[in-house]
Structure 1
Amino acid sequence: MPTPYNTGIIGYGLSAKIFHIPFINDSAHFTLHSIVQRSPKPDNDAHTDHPTAKIYASTSDLLLDKDVHVIVITTAPDSHASLATQAMKAGKHVIVEKPFTPTSEEARTLCDVARENGVFLTVYQNRRWDADFLTLRKVLDEGSLGRVVEFESHFDRHRPVMPSVQSWKTDPAAYSAVFDLGTHLMDQVVSIYGLPKRITGFVGTQRRNNTSGLEDSFTALLHYDGGLTATCKAGVVSPETEQLRFWVRGEKGSYKKYHLDPQEGQLKEGLRPGQGGYGIESEEKYGVLTKVEGGEMVSEKLKTVEGRGYTAFYDQFAKALDAKDVGLLPVGSRVAADVIRLCELMRASSKEGRTLDV
């Protein structure tokens, strides 16, 4: 299979425009070949935005194109299983936007379909390439914290009023913050420590005017052997000028970080990878590393890691394709299926009011 890999995208919403196309264009290993957009509008037309790409009105037409090597699925989660199955049976490698699928059973089935058809399947857990998370991983890899006993990961925002714009994210039958932000936070933890032994979940709403039952907030406690508890938390009532992102504590030190990774905000403002300042965090937003030295606590600001940003996901996917090695995938599909299972267990734990074995 020649490189760069011709890539087709199914769906032309925010995910495609902001979280995939900029990185496909930034990576030397991929070419934006085609886009499926069923209903273009004068102010939302894939052909106008990307005149060199083929524009298809249906997924079936895209899958018949033998020049397409990779399919990126950016549609609503309830369509992921069907579209990924069709693409893999057509011999295409597949990237699925998170959340992977609404159920772990569907996710595991997709893993089997990939194996049976000899294609590669991965899930776009792009926040593994957040600069703050990469900085934290560097701290952990260097052993600066010693044995970690508390790992807190937050994605809190102050949005106490229900969104006025209707989409699948405001439909309680289709959306839960557990499967949205929860998949990001738990995937980060699992990528470091693997699956926990037990999970305790608290899922519900923090909004007073939420009468629909939409799950807008959660807290998950992931219990590991050796004394480690990882807390993954997202809330919509958090009036802070600086939102806590990470607080990780060990026997030798701690790392505390406020503010979200800058990439999403920069992308929405029009900045693109490769442009000056992209993915770079200002000094006042650096995290703080505290170490125990000679019985005293010594703190220092720690510069946030600079790298390729989310383009690194695509670069790593290309390495897996080039080497024909599923072990090199940026996110293993079975690990992604395990994260969906954790989401299910979190909700079940909350409903049953007890800690569950994983």
Structure 2
Amino acid sequence: MPAKTWNVCVIGYGLSAKTFHLPFIQLEPRLKLYAIYQRDVFPNDDAAVDYPDLKVYRSSEEMFKDEAIDVVVVSTSPESHYPLIKLALEHGKHVVSEKPFTPTTQEADELIALSKKQNKLLAVYQNRRFDADFLTVTQLVKSGALGRIVEYESHIDRHRPEQPAASESVWKNKVMPGGSAIYDLGAHILDQAVHLFGLPNRVTAFIGSQREVNTTGYEDAFTVLFHYNSGLVATIKATVVSPEAEQFRFWVRGDKGSYKKFHFDIQEEQLRGGIKATDSVYGREPRERYGTLSTIQNGKPVKEVYPTVEGTTWAEYYRRLAQALAGEGELPASGEEAREVIRLIELAKESSRLGKTLEV
């Protein structure tokens, strides 16, 4: 008996859909890329031309009424997530939402309650749980190779000190609900920390802008400290003023060892550069980008190059989604988990505003 397949419709046809969703949906045999909803069509940017064998909807009303659609992937800007997810659930669809899940925990709670009422799965696209560098950190922490972890640093540092041009002003550079760097980048790297260590006990944050010229008020930088009762302090930050040839990514220190890593996970860079998710080099870091592991040997720290793990890529997200749809496993990242990250972002914003450390 052939395995059941689920028809998937992707809402949106921007960078997120084209780079992070469509290639990986097509890799999973239990998922069938069935339709795309693209409201606005531009020259040389028409899903109907790029995917002539799919259904392409211009009307959300018509799309939601299609009973053949089992799963809806919402890959639009954050302020549109709540109404689109709500409509999808009300029409009996399972949902995958791009991050950030919603601008507020209130909206997240309403959608989680609705998904349970409708008996539908609600997932959030935390694909960076499957970054090779984060999986390497996870392996070292879980194996005990670093001992008792006391410091965890996670950076997304870039050197982009100029204000983006108006023509580049996508949602990631606009002041809007669910906007700012902490919602954009923070939704990923805060999630990674919580996924690895659990919810913190206290939060301290500094959120603002590092750009000398910032006419919009967009908050382009943040530093968030997660305090754990175990003594662990996790520092999670993003900057736009970092003139480095090699940007810092991870530094994890324990009482038995330390792991330090530069360079961001290579998968997005490869996909943007034309490498396909099916290519043999996809997801594989060159040796010069490996991190270093220092361990105590005979009472002295000894440093060695530590290979980045291979074999798991963002394709794992949709593989696990298919398993969850079949009732064979947990969601790769649930709405409930994403709701906790949104709550931590709200606490971080309040901590920054008040200049105080807040209890979680």
- TM-superposition CA deviations, 1:242-268 (whole Å, max 9, x none): 111000000000110000000111111
1:167 corresponds to 2:170 = yes
**Counterpart secondary structure, 2:84:** helix
Match of 1:202 among 186, 206, 223: 206
Q: Does 1:340 align with 2:325?
A: no
Cα distance in 1, alignment partners of residues 228 and 250 from structure 2: 18
Whole-Å Cα distance in 2 between the matches of residues 109 and 194 of structure 1?
23
Match of 1:272 in 2: 276
Give the distance between the partners of 2:286 and 2:3, measured in 1 at CA.
40
Paired residue for 2:246, among 242, 248, 272? 242
Which stretches of structure 1, 4 residues or more, deviate above 4 A after TM superposition?
A: none
Q: Choose 99-108 or 24-33, whichever is displaced more.
A: 24-33
Change (3 A) 1:216 1:198: same
Q: Secondary structure at the match of 1:155?
A: strand
Q: Percent identity among equivalent residues?
A: 48
SS in 2 for 1:284: helix
* Aligned pairs (5 A) from 1:102-117: 102-117=103-118
Q: Distance in 1 between matches of 2:307 and 2:150?
A: 24
Q: Describe how 1:113-124 pairs up with structure 2 within 5 A.
A: 113-124=114-125
Instruction: State the distance in 2 between where 1:108 and 1:180 align.
Output: 20
Separation of aligned partners in 2, 1:272 and 1:92: 29
Aligned residue pairs, count: 356
**How far off its partner does 1:68 sit?**
1.0
CA RMSD of superposed structures (Å): 1.2
Structure 2, unaligned runs of 5 or more:
none
TM-score (structure 1 length as normaliser)? 0.97
Deviation at residue 42 of structure 1 after TM alignment: 2.8
User: Equivalents in 2 of 1:324, 1:62: separation in Å?
Assistant: 28
**2:291 counterpart of 1:287:** yes
1:350 aligns to what SS in structure 2? helix
Aligned equivalent of 1:5: 6
Q: State the distance in 2 between where 1:268 and 1:344 align.
A: 32
User: 1:2 Cα shift?
Assistant: 6.3
Structure 2 CA distance for aligned equivalents of residues 142 and 198 of structure 1: 26
Which of 182, 185, 188 aligns to 2:186? It is 182
Could you tell me how far apart the structure 1 residues matched to 2:169 and 2:334 are? 33
Give yes or no for the alignment of 1:232 onto 2:233.
no
Gaps of 5+ in 1: none
> TM-score when scaled to structure 2?
0.97
Superposition deviation, residue 3 in structure 1:
2.8
| Partner residue of 2:321 out of 305, 313, 317 | 317
Provide the rounded CA distance (Å) in 2 between the counterparts of 1:264 and 1:231.
23
Distance 1:146 1:308, change over 3 A: closer
Contact kept? 2:293, 2:306, Cα under 8 Å: yes
Conserved? CA contact 2:257–2:295, under 8 Å: yes
Q: Counterpart of 1:314 in 2: which secondary structure?
A: helix
Amino acid at match of 2:140: V
For residue 63 of structure 1, what is the amino acid of its counterpart? Answer: F
Take 1:56 and 1:38, find their aligned partners in 2: how far apart are those partners? Answer: 7
Asked if 1:67 is matched to 2:68, the reply is yes
Report the counterpart of residue 32 of structure 1 in structure 2: 33
> Contact (CA 8 Å) 2:226, 2:234: kept in 1 or not?
yes
Amino acid in structure 2 at the alignment position of 1:303: P
Match of 2:100 in 1: 99
- Contact residue 172 and residue 184 of structure 2 kept, 8 A: no
Q: CA deviation at 1:29?
A: 2.0
Aligned partners of 1:79 and 1:243: how far apart in 2? Answer: 33
- Secondary structure of 1:218's match? strand
SS in 2 for 1:107: helix
Equivalent residue number for residue 84 of structure 1: 85
Hey, what's the Cα distance between the residues in 2 that align with 1:10 and 1:51? 17
Name the CA distance, whole Å, in 2 between partners of 1:3 and 1:302: 41
Secondary structure of the residue aligned to 1:122 is: strand
| Cα distance change of structure 1 residues 119 and 2 upon mapping to structure 2, 3 Å threshold | farther
Secondary structure of the structure 1 residue equivalent to 2:194: helix
**Which residue number in structure 1 is paired with residue 309 of structure 2?**
305
Amino acid at match of 1:74: S
